[in-house]
Amino acid sequence: MTLFIIGIGLCDVEDISVKGLNTLRSCDTVFLEHYTSILSSSKEELEDFYQKPVTLAPRTLVEGEAEENILLPAKEKDIALLIVGDVFGATTHTDLQLRAKELGVTCEVIFNASILSAVGIVGLELYKYGKTTSIVFPDDGWLPHTPYGVIKQNKAVGLHTLCLLDIKVAEPNREDLLKGKTTPQPPRFMTVAQGIDVLLAIENERGENVLTPKTLAVGVARLGHKDFKVITGSLQELREKNFGSPLHSLIISGKLSVVEEEALSCWD
């Protein structure tokens, strides 16, 4: 018996691979991890297309309660855990694979498209990206400087930086948590404009001139979807654009080659 961790791609029901689809159809139980990313298809659409009931797996189930709900049952029957995008985009799935090994649970992975390579569509060379970073909502006035440091380091050697923008799905707010309440808040997805505001606020605190309103960047939305959007421009310009519905990401450009310049100019 096996735990199959299956990437289901970036957009909708049809982005699963044929191998992934055949595999999950042969499984006894199918979980969908739905807090590190989202699809445009609903749970019901997935169930119709897969011809299988799908159980939503919140963070608590995949992290704290994985042993009893996913790992130990996978010793008795075949279990599929579906991950939006590719499997190892979130550290938590590496942890799950580790715990499967420790418990002697056979674990197989079926890969799929990831934002990390899909971002190649904008025309910046994938091999010229440095470390990837995340920009989180500055809730309660807490403004982590991590993305600023990463961008600074990448820019210093001419590399591009992919900034993944925060996703909050079914999470309680901090105030509730402090009161011991875990009522989930409505989902929030950071927009390109919000991401830029966070970066410029950090620049304002640090003052190291890593980012200015004129810094060249690329905003992307809904990569992998038919109505995806790519807009290039200065942070100031992108700040004013409407990218539409989530998910958004932001790329801070490093040193551009001639081909990269040409590719970016094609999105106007």
Is residue 89 involved in binding a copy of itself (CB under 8 A)?
yes
Q: How many whole angstroms separate alpha carbon 207 and alpha carbon 200?
A: 10
Is residue 98 involved in binding a copy of itself (CB under 8 A)?
yes
Contact 70, 61 (CB under 8 A): yes
Instruction: Decide whether 103 or 170 has the Cβ nearer to a copy of itself.
Output: 103
Q: Which of residues 125-164 bind a copy of itself (CB under 8 A)?
A: 125-134, 153, 157, 159
Instruction: Decide whether 210 or 263 has the Cβ nearer to a copy of itself.
Output: 263
Closest distance between a copy of itself and the C-beta of residue 11, in Å?
A: 8
- The only residue of 121, 143, 169, 170 in contact with a copy of itself, by rule CB under 8 A: 121
Is residue 64 involved in binding a copy of itself (CB under 8 A)?
no
Q: How many whole angstroms separate alpha carbon 133 and alpha carbon 163?
A: 5
Contacts for 116-122 with beta carbons within 8 Å, 24 or more apart? 116/86, 116/89, 116/162, 118/10, 118/223, 118/224, 119/162, 119/220, 119/223, 119/249, 119/251, 121/223, 121/228, 121/230, 122/218, 122/220, 122/230, 122/232, 122/251, 122/263, 122/264, 122/267
Instruction: Decide whether 57 or 100 has the Cβ nearer to a copy of itself.
Output: 100
Closest distance between a copy of itself and the C-beta of residue 180, in Å?
A: 29
Provide the token pair at 152: 């600074």
Nearest to 41 by CA among 27, 56, 29: 56
Amino acid code (one letter) for 146: T
Instruction: Decide whether 89 or 219 has the Cβ nearer to a copy of itself.
Output: 89
Interaction site with a copy of itself (CB under 8 A): 7, 9-10, 12-19, 21-22, 86-89, 91, 94-95, 97-98, 101, 108-109, 111-114, 116-118, 120-121, 123, 125-134, 153, 157, 159, 223-224, 226, 259, 262-263, 266
